[in-house]
Amino acid sequence: MTSERAYVAELYEQLDAERARVETRYEEALRGTGASAMERDVEVRAQARELKRLGVADQGLCFGRLDAVDGERRYIGRIGLFDSDDDYRPLLLDWRAPAARPFYIATAASPENMRRRRQFHTRGREITDFTDEVLGRPDGESDGDAALLAAVNAPRGEGMRDIVATIQAEQDRIIRLDHAGVVVIEGGPGTGKTVVALHRVAYLLYTQRERMERSGVLVVGPNPAFLTHIGRVLPSLGESDVVFATTGDLVPGLHVTAEDAPEVARLKGSLKILDVLNAAVADRQRLPEQPLHIELEDVTVRIDAATAEWAREEARDSGLPHNEARAVFTDIVTYVLTERAIGRIGKGWLTRDNKEVWENLRADLLSELGEHPAFTEALDELWPILTPQQLLVDLYSSAERLRAAGAESLHRADGQAWTVSDVPLLDELVDLLGVVKTSDPVASERAAEAEYAAGVLEIMQTERHDMMDDEDHLLAQDMLHAEDLAERFVEHDTRDLAERAAADRDWTYRHVVVDEAQELSEMDWRVLMRRCPSRSFTVVGDLAQRRSAAGAEAWGAMLDRYVPGRWAYRELTVNYRTPAEIMQVAASLLADFAPDVAPPESVRSCGVAPWHRQVEEGEIASAIDDFNRQEAGREGTSVVIGPRGFPGAVPPAETKGLEFDAVLVVEPGRILAEGDRGVAELYVALTRATQRLGVVHAEPLPEVLSALSS
């Protein structure tokens, strides 16, 4: 113990010394003495990232040791540390390094050339104890599960914790999986799906730093409480270039949590809604019922149905989004109007042989039309500039427009009462409608910056050529694009990558994590695929817990459209959260609604039987108060889960992905009665507890919960 404490103390000394060196370099970079603005910015960012990496290691810097059969010792920790005085000899291996992998996968039967695994128990910067596991000897004494059981039995705090010290073999295989496409991780409650996905992101950022850091990572979760719960895992691993969002946040500036009725959500979530959206856009590209007259200075012209129809067909055939195609529509209409006007003005004396006069007259007419209010009004009537929000508001609030689009069920009194299912529709309309061309000084400034940066790259490339031999053909543009370099000259934008990405609808991410993915609709997947052109995803879910009417019934149904043959399926089968006593109750419910799904196997028991208590209707509030008082005196977290709108309880949907030491479920019969999704919601409610589960009800207890003790 003494030698281990001394070694870890030396590691902390090395950490503190390295942090001091980086702080000095960071301060020097901020001063930027003798460096260009670009060089200073690059150095400031680099040292800031290094400070952040070193800052996460104060707690649990070193959590284990591997002893190889050849006598080599490898200490495993949150980050890697090297001895700068001894040819950078590794003092501490980053948990993601290949040499650290045996710490997670070695067993007595498959020792990976290791003879012992030692796991440290620490408090602050000191080792308090350790446990050893002998490897390569099936009859050897082992206490290898001690650290895991200590972690899963520990009281829950306010957020999810990382598991770098207790990653299990089946989890490690997924974290390090070498697959460039989509990885689907399925598992029942408590199997660690989410935390495995987050550690996979940390691993990818470690192994693909250059590619991943430029664009960042998007993590999509089911609700804000869940995102708060998991929000500190990646920062605790030293990774911060991550955007956390719900599907209701994926259109910048719009945040919604309200849900549609199941039948409406099903239509909005299906690809059939694309026909509705296209029909809604086409409905706004109109022909005049009567000719529209425009009185010019010397002549009156008119837009008739034939002219508008020709212009409309040309605009539609252009393949441009609606707002951009308006220019085509306008060009055809103005061509017809000016031709007719010139013919009338010059009747009897002007021919096309008088080219200069003809063109001058056309220019005057074009100028007059461009400034004429009646012409602008006519264009707005026949081919209006549309925004996604206004188009949907007009569609939802108009029974006539919905009939024309074949979607009468979408009618609602308040067109702006946005729901989660509206977000992918609004995002789709951004592409269908296109942008409105405006004079944007910021965009002009950015274009100038990119042009300047391109010049810098050209100089860098020339200098690189001068230093290269014929076999070395790595050029500057292979490492950096002009737009990326331009970012370094934007001194007015001090936002970090996550802030910039979250505010930009057109931002594309290098990797996307989707949690509770069984709830996402076909339209949700279209949004996410736009956000990640490389199709690099970690998808986490449990089809048995699906509650959304528009959600996935099979993974292939959602993914084969986008990544045929490029998605891999992995399953987690061990339940680390839910004790066996509670999982037995939940398994009875699972067998009732998903008999083909095997419940995950719990690794532990808690010794406390889940219970139920029937009370009078008026006594439920006091029963909730009793539960809250009892749990207030205990360490850990607790929650009351009940039907939607039940006083003093949260609905099951808001607890998805969360865990609590104690859970009280109120009126399970009412939860079951909430349509097709009710049974999945009750399953979620029953599997949130890590220690204690109780059920209070005035209505009869559902038969599937008969295993509860009274």
What is the tens place of the pLDDT at every residue in 511-553? 999 999 999 999 999 999 999 999 999 999 999 989 899 999 9
Q: Which carries the bigger pLDDT value, residue 663 or residue 59? A: 663
Q: Is 411 among the domain residues?
A: no
Task: Tell me the average pLDDT across 140-156.
Answer: 64
- Claim to verify: residue 47 and residue 76 sit in the same structural domain: yes
pLDDT score for 476: 32
Q: Is 187 annotated as a binding residue?
A: yes
Does residue 73 sit in helix, strand or coil? strand
Q: The CATH number of the domain where 215 resides is what? A: 3.40.50.300
Please determine, for residue 488, whether its predicted confidence score (pLDDT) is greater than 60. no
> Is 127 found in the same domain as 1?
yes
Please report the sign of the dihedral spanned by the C-alpha atoms of residue 298, residue 304, residue 308, residue 309.
negative
State residue 77 phi and psi, 5-degree precision. -155, -170
Q: What is the pLDDT of residue 313?
A: 98
Domain boundary pick from 365, 382, 399: 382
64 is in an annotated binding site: no
Of the pLDDT bands very low, low, confident and very high (cuts 50, 70, 90), residue 272 is: very high
Highest mean pLDDT among 66-80, 143-157, 478-492: 66-80
| pLDDT at position 34 | 63
Cα separation of 57 and 479, whole Å?
30
Look at residue 504 and tell me if it is in a domain: no
Measured distance CA(414)–CA(163) in Å, rounded: 46
551 is in an annotated binding site: no
Burial class of 335 by CB neighbour count within 10 A (0 to 12, 13 to 18, 19+): middle
Is residue 520 within 8 Å of residue 268, measured between CB atoms? Answer: no
Same domain, 232 and 358: no
What pLDDT is stored for residue 472 in this prediction?
Answer: 36
Other C-beta atoms within 10 Å of 309: how many? 12
Give the tens place of pLDDT for each residue, 423-468. Answer: 999 999 999 999 876 444 444 444 554 554 455 444 444 444 444 4
Same domain, 606 and 529: no
Domain, as residue range, for 214: 172-257+509-573
- Same domain for 598 and 569? no
pLDDT at residue 474 in the model: 32
647 plus 530 within the same structural domain:
no
Residue 486 pLDDT more than 60? no
pLDDT of 489 reads: 44
Q: Three-state SS for 300?
A: strand
Q: Is 190 labelled as part of a ligand binding site?
A: yes
Q: What is the pLDDT of residue 121?
A: 87
Q: What is the DSSP letter of 634?
A: S
Question: Are 8 and 116 members of one domain?
Answer: yes
Closest listed residue to residue 664, CA positions, set 626, 608, 710, 700: 626
> Alpha helices of 532-619 — where are they, by DSSP H?
555-559, 580-593
Nearest to 570 by CA among 555, 590, 580: 555
What is the reported pLDDT for 214? Answer: 83
Which element (helix H / strand E) includes 301? strand 300-303
Record the tokens describing residue 114, joined without a space.
């290791």
Q: Evaluate if residue 483 carries a pLDDT over 90.
A: no
User: What tokens does 171 get?
Assistant: 């989890």
User: How far is it, in rounded angstroms, from Cα 645 to Cα 536?
Assistant: 39
CB 518 within 8 A of CB 546: yes
107 is in an annotated binding site: no
Buried b / exposed e over 217-242, threshold 16 CB at 10 Å, is: bbbbbbbbebbebbbebbebbbbbbb
Q: What is the rounded distance in angstroms from the CA atom of residue 283 to the CA atom of residue 281?
A: 5
Q: Based on the fold, state whether residues 249 and 368 are members of the same structural domain.
A: no
Mean pLDDT of 564-579: 94
User: Residues 567, 601: one domain?
Assistant: no
Domain boundary among the residues 382, 408, 426 is at 382
Cα 149 to the center of its chain, rounded Å: 31
- pLDDT, mean of residues 63-84: 93
Q: Is the pLDDT of residue 136 over 80?
A: no
Q: Are residues 128 and 7 in the same domain?
A: yes
- Picking from 357, 382, 407, the residue at the C-terminal end of a domain is 382
Nearest to 152 by CA among 195, 200, 123, 186: 195
Q: Is residue 434 part of a domain?
A: no
- Give how many domains the chain has, as a whole number: 4
Output the average pLDDT for the chain.
Answer: 87
Distances from the Cα of 648 to the Cα of 35, 225, 642, 658, 670, angstroms: 61, 17, 8, 18, 15
Give 497's DSSP letter.
H
487 inside domain:
no
Backbone φ, ψ for residue 167 (5° rounding): -55, 130
Q: pLDDT band for position 481 (50/70/90)?
A: very low
**Does 192 count as an annotated binding residue?**
yes
Looking at the fold, whether 602 and 641 belong to one and the same domain comes out as yes
Binned at pLDDT 50, 70 and 90, residue 148 comes out as confident
Handedness of CA 82, 84, 85, 88 (dihedral sign): positive
The H or E element spanning position 512 is strand 511-514
Average pLDDT over residues 399-414: 91
Query: Is 478 part of a structural domain of the chain?
Result: no
Assess whether pLDDT exceeds 90 at residue 152: no
DSSP string for residues in 172-236: HHHHT---SSEEEEEE-TTS-HHHHHHHHHHHHHHHSHHHHHHH-EEEEESSHHHHHHHTTHHHH
Q: pLDDT digit string (tens) for 212-259?
A: 888 999 999 999 999 999 988 988 888 888 999 999 999 998 889 889
For residue 6, what pLDDT is reported?
Answer: 95
pLDDT, tens digit, 9 for 90 and up, residues 639-650: 999 999 999 999
Which strands, in side-by-side order, build the sheet including 89-94? 81-83, 89-94, 73-77, 62-68, 114-123, 126-134
Q: Is 273 a domain residue?
A: no
pLDDT on residue 146: 63
Q: Give domain status of residue 406, yes or no.
A: no
pLDDT of residue 113: 93
The pLDDT score that the predictor gives to residue 255 is: 87
Whether residue 262 lies inside any domain: the answer is no
* 558 and 589 housed in the same domain: no
